[in-house]
Amino acid sequence: MGVRRLIDDCCGAGARLMPLPEALAIIDRDLVPVTAVEHVPLWAALGRVLADDVTAAVSLPPLPNSAMDGYAVRAADMAADAETTLPVVARQAAGQPLEGEPAPGGAVRIFTGAPMPDGFDAVVMQEEAEVLDDGARVRLPAGVRAGVNVRHAGEDVREGAVVLRRGTRLRAQDVAMAAAVGRAELPVGAPLRVAVFSTGDELRDPGEALPHGCIYDANRQALKGMLAGLPVVVTDLGILPDDPEAVREALARAAPEHDVVVTSGGVSVGEEDHVRGAVEALGAITFWRLRLKPGKPAALGRIGETVFLGLPGNPVATIVTFLLIARPIILRLAGATDVAPRRFQVPADFHFEKKGGRREFIRVQLATAEDGRTVARTLTGQGSHLISSVVNAHGLAELEEDRPGVEPGDMLTVIPFPDTMAG
């Protein structure tokens, strides 16, 4: 008979914990976009997921045009090794009709963005031109070659080209591109309906009295804050008691009205943890318990057509599992194609001993070292109950299951926090 040892930071007493990549593969395989398509004006499209490719109705630029305020010329009229003086024969401003006759042997006063007159192929910026006779003539430097300071038609975008791909989560620059190619509206996925609630008899909302043994509910605020950056409408269903009936009833009521229900707390193994049981009674659990730190008790399931996400109660575990699992799920259901968090390689500036065989996500700050390089640092303890560890961080460093720890100079994979959490 072997002697059972006390488990500190365990991988679970016997139970198999699913590795994170396996859980993400299930999400990839099983979850498909659920949102309907709606057409919205550009200002409402920001942050939404594009439901169809956008093709350019016009080339950008539509015509060859000047990159500078100055004088348009024909390179053939210019001396290669000497200054050239030309009469100013016409004027072309952006958005205005051409004034005068842009004849060969003359220069055209031109402004940034104005179309190049036919046959003119170079622009001298006005700082390099000497204006003579009150602007009737201009002396231009030697060596002006065809093409200088001219923007070519279609050099940015060709008419008919796909400029934005379906599945893109629209950023300011994407909306700018849509506008530039003439789109006033875009087809986007309807916002996902997401319900959020917390579980735990010990929880009170800030502003309420705090009886002995109680704490304020931080997780609902964290979840709503992180959801604020996603294409969703959120229903806040408040705090549920540690009571199986109440949890089951709340889930049964919320599920038909929402695409996703996210809970925090009550998914671990204690007899006060009722969330998983309620989901099993109403639907099915897809996975429960991951080889992940923090976040081991995270659960994914279904209640009817609704996706259920049970995030662990420790606040840092809630935040980490939201970023690693809930956020990609929500983006995927919303039709986005690029759903994985971005990862960057950054050298570590600290020593850290990793315990256990879970994939661990520690909170790091990105700082500038003395030699000017960006490095990852840790400032505080890493317990999953320590909210200051996320407050003082810019992102998560990912330590693979079999990694013994971190030494200064080691390369780390860092996931920066998304916008609503970034500093």
Ligand X SMILES: Nc1nc2c(c(=O)[nH]1)N[C@H]1C(S)=C(S)[C@@H](COP(=O)(O)OP(=O)(O)OC[C@H]3O[C@@H](n4cnc5c(N)ncnc54)[C@H](O)[C@@H]3O)O[C@H]1N2
Q: Which residues are at the interface with ligand MOO (CB under 6 A)?
A: 293-296, 312, 314, 317, 384
Which two tokens mark 104? 């060969």
In the list 117, 189, 315, 395, the residue contacting ligand X (rule: CB under 6 A) is 315
Segment interacting with ligand X (CB under 6 A) among 31-39, 133-141, 194-202, 358-366: 194-202
Residue (9 or 28) nearer to ligand MOO, CB:
9
Distance, CA of 225 to CA of 330 (rounded, Å): 14
Comparing CB distances to ligand MOO, the nearer of 12 and 100 is 12
- Contacted by 202, from ligand MOO, ligand X, none: CB < 5 to 8 Å by type: ligand X
Of the pair 167, 294, the CB lying nearest ligand MOO is at: 294
Distance CA 38, CA 191 (A): 9
What are the residues whose beta carbons fall under 8 Å from the beta carbon of 73, sequence distance 6 or more?
A: 84, 86, 107, 108, 120, 121, 122, 123, 124, 140, 144
265 binds, among ligand MOO, ligand X, none (CB under 5 to 8 A by kind): ligand X
- Binding partner of residue 401 among ligand X, ligand MOO, none, CB under 5 to 8 Å per kind? none
Q: How far is CA 200 from CA 220, 242, 253, 318, 344, in A?
A: 12, 5, 19, 14, 36
**Distance, CA of 222 to CA of 418 (rounded, Å):** 13
| Rounded-to-integer distance, Cα 179 and Cα 190, Å | 21
In the complex with ligand X, the residue whose CB is nearer, 269 or 411, is 269
The tokens for 257 are: 């009205």
Angstrom distance (rounded) from CA 56 to CA 177: 9
**How many whole angstroms separate alpha carbon 93 and alpha carbon 111?**
5
167: contact with ligand X by CB under 6 A: no
Q: Judged by CB under 6 A, does residue 18 bind ligand X? A: no
Segment contacting ligand X by CB under 6 A, of 140-148, 265-273, 324-332, 389-397: 265-273
115 binds ligand X (CB under 6 A): no
Burial-class residue 221 by CB neighbours within 10 Å (0-12, 13-18, 19+).
Answer: middle
264: partner contacted, choices ligand X, ligand MOO, none (Cβ within 5-8 A by kind): ligand X
Among 187, 266, 395, 416, binds ligand X (CB under 6 A): 266
**Are 415 and 359 spatial neighbours (Cβ–Cβ below 8 Å)?**
no
In terms of CB distance, is 121 or 217 closer to ligand X? Answer: 217
360 binds ligand X (CB under 6 A): no
114 belongs to the binding site for ligand X (CB under 6 A): no
Q: How many residues bind ligand X (CB under 6 A)?
A: 27
Q: Binds 35, which of ligand MOO, ligand X, none (CB < 5 to 8 A, cut-off by type)? A: none
117 interacts with ligand X by CB under 6 A: no
198 binds ligand X (CB under 6 A): yes
With tokens 């875009």, the residue in question is 186
Residue with tokens 């050298």: 347
CB of 273 to ligand MOO, least distance (A): 13
> Among residues 177, 68, 162, 76, which one has the least CA distance to residue 116?
68
* Contact residues: ligand X, CB under 6 A: 12, 198, 200, 202-203, 215, 217-220, 264-269, 273, 294, 296-297, 312-315, 317, 384-385
